[in-house]
Amino acid sequence: MAFKTPKNILLGTVLVVTSISGMAFAAGGGVHGDYKMKHPDWSFKGATGTYDRAAAQRGYQVYREVCAACHSLKYVAFRHLGDKGAPFYLEDYPNPSDNPYVKNFAADWQVADIDSETGDEIERPGIPADYFPDPFPNEPAARASNGGALPPDLSSMVKARGNGADYLYNLLVSYDVPKPADVELTPGLHWNPVMEGHKIAMASPLSDDLVSYEPVEIIDHGKSKIVDAPPATVEQMASDVTQFLAWTADPKLEQRKSIGLMTIIYLLILSILLFLSYKRVWRDVKH
């Protein structure tokens, strides 16, 4: 009996956990029948996965030069780019506001402000503490510029869709899938097999060589390393910007996994010790 019940509990727990996970995952997926989802081997997946710094840095460039024309990133500040676990983190700059990348990128954007002397609305170069500016002053303006559709904020986009990284990547690379003959599109909508309902207001945002990649320098195990620029194909850009947006959605992923590993090792040791204590306390007692 003593051995039977722990096994039952374990079995029960596994059953319950898998079925609730199953239920949670059950809702989702509206991909068109003819389209086969691609599943890139994301570096940040798995128990020890981390972000691909070089790809995320290129992804920032894609966001800056392409997506940012319409999509805000309003919960992300420039200083976040230099945080630990972020694409532009440098060990020498523990305070992200001092990080030279961060300072340069911030200054590269124009941020709306109020002149403290005159009260006029002005634009000034950003500082690390600023958040990524919204490309449109308000929602009606955003809709007016986009045929009535509102470009969603991208800060948490990868978390806001089931299997978000794959969703985003496939959405971006599937514009060339031909539209089935029986589908009618209203003007201003585009065929996309990955989009919910398969009709999307956003025109294909990427085309080959839309951005010109340059080699990026990353710090790998304390050593500076130059990563050559890959050809700027649609797939490459889609993959890079997905890396970047995966980071904006889950900036603490690397801390989370490393603290998680330590915690679980600790808990396993504690469980074993407690089990031994339990056996010891109950040594002479039948139950």
Partner 1 sequence: MSGPSTYEPKYAAAKWMDKRLPIIRMGADFMTFPSPRNLNYWYTFGGILALCLVVQILSGVILAMHYVADVDKAFASVQRIRRDVPFGWLLQSMHAVGASMFFLAVYMHMFRGLYYGSYKAPREVIWILGCAIYLVMMATAFLGYTLPWGQMSFWGATVITGFFGAVPVVGESLQEWLLGGYSVDNATLNRFFALHYLLPFVLAGLVGLHVWALHHVGQNNPIGISEKTKEDTLAFHPFYTVKDAFAIAAFLVIFAIFLFYLPDALGHADNYIEADPLKTPAHIVPEWYFLPFYAILRAVPDKLAGILLMLGAIIVLFILPWLDTHKVRSMRFRPIARWFFIFFIFFCFVLGWCGAGTPDDIAVPFGKNSGITFYRVSQIATVYYFAYFLVILPVLGLIEKPLKRPDSITKAVLGDGKHGETLAPAE
Partner 2 sequence: MSDSSTTHATTEPEDGSKRDFIFLATGATAAAGAAAIGWPLVAQMGKAADTLAAGSIEIDLSKIAVGQQLKMLWRGKPVFVRHRTKAEIETAENTDISDCPDPETDNERLVPDNNGNLRPEFLVMVGVCTHFGCVPVGEAGEFDGWYCPCHGSHYDTSGRIRKGPAPKNMEIPPYVFVNENVIKVG
Which residues within the stretch 196-225 sit at the binding site for partner 1 (CB under 8 A)? 196
Q: Map residue 121 onto helix, strand or coil.
A: strand
Tell me whether residue 225 or residue 252 sits nearer to partner 2 (CB atom).
252
**Tokens 């025109």 found at:** 203
* Window of 35-43, 107-115, 217-225, 248-256 that interacts with partner 1 by CB under 8 A: 248-256
Residue 3 in the binding site for partner 1 (CB under 8 A): no
Residues written for the chain = 287
Q: Map residue 184 onto helix, strand or coil.
A: coil
Residue 129 in the binding site for partner 1 (CB under 8 A): no
Tell me whether residue 123 or residue 220 sits nearer to partner 2 (CB atom).
123
Inter-residue long-range contacts of 101-106, CB under 8 Å, 24+ positions, other chains counted: 102/78, 102/128, 103/128, 105/60, 105/64, 105/78, 105/81, 106/78, 106/79, 106/130
What is the per-residue binding string for partner 2 in 57-96, x denoting contact by CB under 8 A?
A: --------------------x-xx--x-----------xx
> DSSP assignment of 123-138, as one string?
EEE--TTSBPPPSSSS
Tell me whether residue 116 or residue 224 sits nearer to partner 2 (CB atom).
116
Residue 24 in the binding site for partner 1 (CB under 8 A): yes
- List 128, 151, 193, 205, residue binding partner 2 (CB under 8 A): 128
Q: CA-CA distance, 162 to 228, in Å (whole number)?
A: 32
Tell me whether residue 1 or residue 181 sits nearer to partner 1 (CB atom).
1
Count other C-beta atoms under 10 Å from residue 74's C-beta.
Answer: 13
Q: CA-CA distance, 20 to 14, in Å (whole number)?
A: 10
Q: CA-CA distance, 154 to 201, in Å (whole number)?
A: 16
Residue 117 in the binding site for partner 2 (CB under 8 A): yes
Residue 7 in the binding site for partner 2 (CB under 8 A): no
Q: CA-CA distance, 37 to 122, in Å (whole number)?
A: 45
Tell me whether residue 24 or residue 69 sits nearer to partner 1 (CB atom).
24
Q: Name the amino acid, one letter, at 150.
A: L
Residues making contact with partner 1 (CB under 8 A): 1, 5-6, 8-9, 12-13, 16-17, 19-21, 23-28, 30, 47, 75-76, 80, 152-153, 155-156, 159-162, 164, 196, 249, 251-252, 255-257, 259-261, 263-264, 267-268, 270-271, 274-275, 277-278, 280-287
Residues making contact with partner 2 (CB under 8 A): 77, 79-80, 83, 95-97, 117, 127-130, 266-267, 269-270, 273-274, 276-277, 280
